[in-house]
C-alpha cells in the first residue's frame, strides 16, 4: 500500500510539473502583450517598455518560468497584472461557488445515470430501454452551453420560474437565493454529464448480465436481486468508478464554461476576464488549480478502483500491473 501510494504520488507530482510547463508555454504563445492592458491607447514605446518592466514580461522566458515555479513552491499564485491583488485568495473565494456547483451537478448526474443505465441494459429489448439509450446518445452530442441557453429561454425568460443568471451579492448568506441561482446551471451540467455516464453504466451492466458467475449464482438458488447485489454490483462498479473520476473532472471543467453562460462569479468568469486582459498570473492560477484538481480526482479514482477490485489489490502493495 505504501509503495503504491509513493509511486502514484510521484507520478502525480511529475504530471503536475509537466502540466505547468505546458501551461506556461501555451500562454506565452498567445498573441498580444499583457503590458498593453496597462497602458493607454497610443502609448509611447517608453511607456510600454516601462509597463513590461513593471510586470516582468521583458525578462527571458526561462527566468519568468523559474520565478513562477518558485512562487508555486511557496504556495503563492502571484499577483494580478491588472489589479495587483494576490491571485490565490481570489481563486479560493471563487471556489466557494465553483465547488458547490460541480459537486451538486455530479451528484445529480450520478442519481440520474445509475438507474437509467441499469434500466437501459436490463430492459434493452423494450421500447423504453431503447428510448433511454437513444436519449443518452443524443445527450452526448449536445454542447453544454447550448443546453444552458435553451434552459434559460424556457424556464427563466418564458416561464419566469428561475433567474436567468447571476449570483446574490451576499453569496451564501442568502442560501435560498443562492440555491435558486444555481438550479439551472446544475441541471445543465448534470443532464449533459449523465448522458455519457448512462452509456458506461449500461455497458458495465450488460457485461454483468451476460457473465457466467451471475448465471451460476442464479442456478444455485439466488434471486436476480440477490445475485446482482452479491456478485454483480462490485464487478460492475469497477469500470464505472474509473469513469466517475473522469466525469467528475469533466464536470469541474464544464462548470467553468457554464459559469460564463449563466454569468456566475466563479472560476469561469475569472478565467475569461484574465484571458481577455492577458493577465498571465490570473490565467495561470485558475488553470493550475483546475489541473491540480483534475489530477487529484484521477489519483483518488485510481485508488478507489484498486480498493473495489480484488484483482488490483496486488498493486496496492507494490505489485506490478
**CB distance 128 to 119 below 8 Å:** yes
Q: What is the pLDDT of residues 165-220, one digit of tens each?
A: 888 888 788 888 889 999 999 999 999 888 888 888 888 888 777 777 777 777 77
DSSP 172: G
> What pTM did the predictor assign?
0.78
For residue 242, pLDDT beyond 80: no
Same structural domain for residues 29 and 121?
no
Q: Helix, strand, or coil here: 31?
A: coil
Same structural domain for residues 96 and 171?
yes
Rounded CA-CA distance 121/266 in Å is: 38
Same structural domain for residues 39 and 170?
no
pLDDT at 231: 66
Q: What are phi and psi of 250, to 5 degrees?
A: -65, -35
pLDDT at 183: 92
Same structural domain for residues 49 and 112?
no
- Identify the domain boundary among 73, 106, 125: 73
Per the structure, the complete domain to which residue 297 belongs is given by: 91-316
Same structural domain for residues 169 and 50?
no
Is 86 inside any structural domain? no
Task: Classify residue 173 as exposed, middle or buried by CB count within 10 Å of its CB (0-12, 13-18, 19+).
Answer: exposed
Amino acid at each position: 500500500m505504501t509503495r503504491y501510494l509513493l509511486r502514484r504520488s510521484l507520478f502525480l507530482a511529475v504530471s503536475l510539473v509537466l502540466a505547468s510547463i505546458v501551461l506556461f508555454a501555451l500562454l506565452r504563445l498567445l498573441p498580444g502583450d499583457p503590458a498593453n492592458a496597462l497602458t493607454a491607447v497610443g502609448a509611447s514605446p517608453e511607456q510600454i517598455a516601462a509597463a513590461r518592466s513593471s510586470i516582468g514580461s521583458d525578462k527571458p522566458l526561462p527566468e519568468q518560468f523559474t520565478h513562477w515555479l518558485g512562487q508555486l513552491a511557496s504556495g503563492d499564485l502571484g499577483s494580478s497584472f491588472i489589479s495587483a491583488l494576490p491571485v490565490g485568495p481570489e481563486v479560493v473565494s471563487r471556489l466557494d461557488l465553483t465547488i458547490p456547483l460541480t459537486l451538486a451537478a455530479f451528484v445529480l448526474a450520478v442519481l440520474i445515470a445509475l438507474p437509467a443505465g441499469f434500466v437501459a441494459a436490463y430492459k434493452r429489448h423494450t421500447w423504453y430501454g431503447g428510448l433511454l439509450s437513444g436519449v443518452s446518445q443524443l445527450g452526448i452530442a449536445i454542447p453544454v452551453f447550448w443546453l444552458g441557453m435553451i434552459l434559460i429561454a424556457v424556464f427563466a425568460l418564458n416561464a419566469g420560474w428561475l433567474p436567468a443568471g447571476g449570483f446574490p451579492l451576499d453569496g451564501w448568506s442568502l442560501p435560498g437565493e443562492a440555491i435558486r441561482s444555481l438550479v439551472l446551471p446544475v441541471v445543465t451540467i448534470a443532464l449533459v454529464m449523465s448522458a455519457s455516464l448512462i452509456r458506461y453504466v449500461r455497458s458495465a451492466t450488460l457485461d454483468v448480465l451476460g457473465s457466467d458467475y451471475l448465471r451460476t449464482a442464479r442456478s444455485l438458488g439466488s434471486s436476480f436481486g440477490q445475485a446482482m447485489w452479491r456478485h454483480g454490483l462490485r464487478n460492475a462498479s469497477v469500470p464505472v468508478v474509473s469513469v466517475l473520476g473522469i466525469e467528475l473532472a469533466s464536470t469541474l471543467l464544464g462548470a467553468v464554461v457554464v459559469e460564463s453562460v449563466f454569468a456566475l462569479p466563479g472560476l469561469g468568469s475569472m478565467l475569461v476576464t484574465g484571458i481577455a486582459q492577458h493577465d498571465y498570473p490570473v490565467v495561470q492560477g485558475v488553470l493550475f488549480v483546475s489541473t491540480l484538481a483534475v489530477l487529484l480526482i484521477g489519483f483518488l479514482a485510481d485508488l478507489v478502483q484498486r480498493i473495489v477490485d480484488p484483482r488490483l489489490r496486488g498493486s496496492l502493495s507494490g505489485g506490478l500491473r
